[in-house]
Amino acid sequence: MNTHAESRRRTRRLVALAAAGLVLAVGATASAMAAWTDTEWVWGSAGGVLGGEDGLATSVFAVQQNTGTGDAAWSDRPTSATAGAISFTADAASLAPGDTVYGFVRLRTVVESVAGTVVMKPALPGDGTDTDLFGALTFGARVMSSPTTCSAAGFASNGTAIVAPGTPVTSTADAASFTLAAAGDSVPGEERTVCVALTLPAGSPSTLQGLQALPVWQFVSTSN
């Protein structure tokens, strides 16, 4: 057997195979280098154009109060230390058994605010409150469209009750909720008036004479 000839034949086969592999590798590299590429980008919008002001954004929810009849006193009073004062008129400074006095607070959403739901929370005794008098007082509350109807006659026939008359001021139950409309882009939402009727019940004892009470209510609003 000619081992030398056989060795040369094996060498030629190996060289041929290596050459074929090299051609395949070069061909594959050439194909990858010749591929076309392209990219596309998108952005999250609210219907606008790139670079504008119509990207994703959060809504606004805020409520103002006004305890007067004018339009200049709307304000934000988020703490008990900055609470607005419901005026029950001068009669509230000299209550006698059986007396009821009326006062109101107006509420609305601010410009660009979404709608919301409001709950009147139970009253707390403010600084200087005598607990005996505070415990004797009762109240009721109605939601009305205007403060002009917050009176004895108006309370009996206007708006929607959220607290039944005769409810103890010390009650721990929340009032029924009511809604505030969404505001426009340049105008606040439609206002709602909460009219409060505060009563010193008939038959209250003489030991309550000369005392003072300061009920403090909180309105908690939640966006819809």
* Tens of pLDDT, residues 176-219: 999 999 999 999 999 999 999 999 999 999 999 999 999 999 99
What is the secondary structure of the chain as a DSSP string?
--HHHHHHHHHHHHHHHHHHHHHHHHHHHHHHHT----------BSS--TTSS-B----B--EEEE-SSSSS--B---SGGG-------GGGGG--TT-EEEEEEEEEEPTTBPPEEEEEPPPEE-TT--HHHHHH-EEEEEEES-GGG-SHHHHHHSSEEEEEEEEETT--PPPPPEEEPPP-SSSPPPPEEEEEEEE--TT--GGGTT----EE--EEEEE-
Per the model's pLDDT, the better-predicted residue between 133 and 6 turns out to be 133
Is the pLDDT assigned to residue 15 strictly greater than 90? no
Question: What's the predicted TM-score (pTM) here?
Answer: 0.80
The pLDDT tens digits for 83-142 are 999 999 889 999 999 999 999 999 999 999 999 999 999 999 999 999 999 999 999 999
Q: What is the pLDDT of residue 26?
A: 47
Domain boundary assignment for the chain: 89-223
